[in-house]
Amino acid sequence: MATQTQGIPTQLGHVALRVRDLDRAVQFYSDVVGLTLRHRGNGAAFLGNRTDASHELALFSLPEDADGPNPEQVGMYHMAWEMASFEELERFHDRLLASGARIAGYSDRQCNVMFLDPDGNELEAFWELRDGTKPDPLPRLRR
């Protein structure tokens, strides 16, 4: 059987989330996560940092009383941002703590922090070596 070499995606283009308060979500993803607002209008906002893409995150407004994410139902568990270094992960973590963001946890097997956006969507920031190896000992964020 021939190996498939065509029609395969090259990378994930963007993630789209539904949020209850678009202003609050844009502020969180801009001020805390560090994304740049690229476009906003008609109940939607598009943010990102990559220079080769129009956006990496799309936010779409729902009514304030919309149900939030449910970890007991099928759906997205989390999305993750890779950090350039452990020091950058530490700076990001400090910004999360200073903002009052809800920390969901940390993995014992990697350098990361799990956190929630204002609508309860679970997110992750992590750092790992490009070659897939793990430093020993594994650096840890201050908790």
pLDDT in tens, 74-121: 998 999 999 999 999 999 999 999 999 999 999 999 999 999 999 999
CATH 3.10.180.10, the chain: domain bounds: 13-64, 77-143
The yes/no answer on whether domain 77-143 falls in CATH 3.10.180.10 is yes
Please tell me the predicted confidence (pLDDT) of residue 2: 54
CATH class belonging to 13-64:
alpha beta
- Cβ atoms within 10 A of the Cβ of 104, count? 14
pLDDT score of 122 more than 60: yes
Please tell me the distance from the alpha carbon of residue 107 to that of residue 114, in angstroms, as a whole number. 8
Label residue 4 by pLDDT band (50, 70, 90). Answer: low
Please tell me the distance from the alpha carbon of residue 43 to that of residue 86, in angstroms, as a whole number. 36
pLDDT score of 138 more than 80: yes
Label residue 3 by pLDDT band (50, 70, 90). Answer: low
Please tell me the predicted confidence (pLDDT) of residue 129: 87
Look up the pTM and report it.
0.89
How does the average pLDDT of the chain come out, rounded? 93
